[in-house]
Structure 1
Amino acid sequence: MITTQLLILITVFLIASVISVITGSTSLITVPVMLQFRIEPRTALATNMLALTLMSVGGTLPFIGKGVIDRRRLPLLIVLTLIASIVGALLVLVVPSRSMPLIISISMIVVTVLSIANRKAGIVPAEAIPSRIAEIAGYVVTFILGIYGGFFSGGYVTLLTAAYVMLFRMTFVQAIATTKLINIFSSLVATIIFMIQGIIDYKLGMILGLTMFVGGIIGGRITLSLSTIWLQRIYLTVVSILTIVTLRKSLQPNQSTSTTGELTPLV
């Protein structure tokens, strides 16, 4: 029998997946909600990663054949992401996640400031080819963020989108489409490792995953229908809000009940 808690989770995951195709930061919304229902932290991270994999697939489908995915850089970006995601997923097993909200919020503040300072970035294709330093930096950032993406993923795509706009000179649509495809590999590798460790709630994960798959398709189609100016506005607005909320939570005293609770059956 479907419970009220499960209905709430389905609703939150659907809305978050539609919006996060543009903005990223899905896990900054979904994981805290799961923890509120006293789902054990590692189980929440692992189950959320399974759902994210399906969302990334759904979010990528609308962009296929539209010519907005950076095919030239894609092979190397995928290889770097696969390696980094393995490292990140293994870190979940040994590293406490208490400091993550502060790191995320600081990173997102930097992204917000840089995005506002470079408002033209991502709106129109850059006339100049990225410098060699910027190109190399883009690959280095892909690897570093890939480690974080395999660990938690909250804010991963958001930061990756900003990096590709600023370093690779992509438009917002190109960055969104490319990061969605890359995130399939990041989430999938982490999910496989979590499967091996036996910390995924498969029943809940598949329900939420199918929900996010549908949300990803809807979000992808909305993205293609919007102008790059509106994509930038939505991106900056949501990122700013999430930055404030995440920073506020990171500065609050740790509450053991939100990170040590036992798994409560939802179905």
Structure 2
Amino acid sequence: MTVIQIIMLAAVFLIASIISVIGGSTSLITVPVMLEFRVEPRTALATNMLALTLMSIGGTLPFIGKKVIDTLRLPLLIVLTLAGSILGALLVLIVPSKSMPLIISISMIAVAVLSIANRNAGVVPSVGIPSRIAEIAGYIVTFVLGIYGGFFSGGYVTLLTAAYIMLFRMTFIQAIATTKVINVFSSLVATLIFIKHGIVDYQLGMILGLAMFIGGIIGGRMTLSLSNAWLQRIYLTVVGILAFITLRKSQQQNHSTSTTNLTIE
């Protein structure tokens, strides 16, 4: 890879990380771009995970001491995330990810519909505490999404943010801050497994990771300066755009597969 290509990648990763602190779905942008630059798929996933770890650390720093991180639930959420992420990272080694774009796009469309239907969710602070069923569901979703986060991570934080708003009744800023901390552990444990199997491009990962670390700090500070209403608008815009992009790519892949099958027959 040439110096110019690396600079172009770093620029994309920087911009993506600034936006994704609020909306998530970083990997839906960064991994496809790496594949366009002919980075081997497994190496792209693993190297991207290293960069995501640094972005999550950078994105967490602005929230420390601001009393917006859910510290009461955090320990259990981290344990569940670590367990799920380990399983997810191991799946990368044995399972192809061709079906992921369709699953993600459908999930994001569902998130957008639910968010629009519950416009006050995450914008107006909730009165009272979540029901026991909702609380338990929040922990189950954390574990299940942790598996996906360790596997690919595209859309992981987006879906996790929506889950925390709807199940734990967090505001947008609380959900964004809490998921940033959780994503540090999700990305880190997956990265360590990828390192063990020798599929991380360290040089590229550190360059892109530095860009994302800076982007994470910028995005975190921007988040703190915005109201929950504006965070919701940006979040829904990102969800809508990425849902459209991933759905379209999935349809193109299905069309390509169908054409190939017809040719073979």
**Fold-level similarity (TM above 0.5):** yes
| TM value normalised by structure 1 | 0.94
Structure 2 Cα separation of the partners of residues 142 and 49 of structure 1: 18
Q: What letter is aligned with 2:11?
A: T
Tell me how far apart the structure 2 counterparts of residues 43 and 207 of structure 1 sit (CA, whole Å): 15
Task: Specify the alignment match of 1:172 in structure 2.
Answer: 172
Q: Which residue of 1 aligns with 2:206?
A: 206
Aligned to 1:143: 143
**What per-residue deviation string (whole Å, max 9, x for no partner) do you get for residues 60-83 of structure 1?**
000000000000100100000000
Is residue 245 of structure 1 aligned with residue 245 of structure 2?
Answer: yes
What is the distance in 1 between the residues matched to 2:164 and 2:97? 26
Residues of 1 paired with 2:145 and 2:110: CA distance? 14
Match of 1:32 in 2: 32
Match of 2:228 in 1: 228
Which residue is equivalent to 1:8? Answer: 8
For 1:51, the equivalent position in structure 2 comes to 51
Distance of 1:219 and 1:156 partners within structure 2: 17
The letter of the residue matching 2:18 is V
**Who is 2:68 aligned against?**
68
1:24-74 deviation digits (Å, cap 9, x = unpaired): 000000000000011100000000000000000000000000000000100
What is the CA-CA distance between 1:219 and the residue it aligns to? 0.2
1:253 shift after superposition = 2.7
Partner in structure 1 of residue 193 of structure 2:
193
How far, CA to CA, are the matches of 1:5 and 1:158 in structure 2? 28
Match of 2:262? none
Q: Deviations over 1:83-112 (max 9, x none)?
A: 000000000000000000011101111101
Amino-acid identity (%): 79
Deviations along 1:118-150, whole A, 9 cap, x unmatched? 010000210021000000000000000000000
How far the C-alpha of 1:4 sits from its partner, in A, is 2.0
* Partners of 1:152 and 1:33 in 2: CA distance: 14
Counterpart for residue 130 of structure 2: 130
1:2 deviates by: 5.7
The code of the aligned residue for 1:19 comes to I
1:211-256 superposed Cα distances (whole Å, 9 cap, x missing partner): 1000000000000000110000000011100000000001113669
Deviation at 1:8, TM superposition (A): 1.2
Question: Which residue of structure 2 aligns with residue 102 of structure 1?
Answer: 102
The letter for the 1-side match of 2:205 is G
Aligned match of 1:261: none
Alignment: residue pair count? 256
What is the aligned partner in structure 2 of residue 260 from structure 1?
none
Shift of 1:3: 2.1
Give the stretch that moved more between structures: 180-189 or 1-10.
Answer: 1-10
Report the equivalent of 1:259.
none
Give the letter aligned to residue 77 of structure 1. Answer: L
Deviations along 1:161-208, one digit per CA (max 9) or x if unpaired, are: 000000000000000000000000000000000000000000000000
**Superposed CA RMSD:** 1.2
TM, length-normalised to structure 2: 0.95
Please list, as runs of the form range in 1=range in 2, the aligned pairs for 1:14-25 lying within 5 A after superposition: 14-25=14-25
Equivalent residue for 1:118?
118
Per the alignment, residue 87 of structure 1 pairs with: 87
More helix per residue: 1 or 2?
A: 2
Q: Which amino acid aligns with 2:210?
A: L
**What letter corresponds to residue 109 of structure 1 in structure 2?**
I
Q: Which runs of 4+ in 1 moved over 6 A?
A: none
Deviation at 1:5, TM superposition (A): 1.2
Aligned mates of 1:155, 1:187 — CA distance in 2:
13
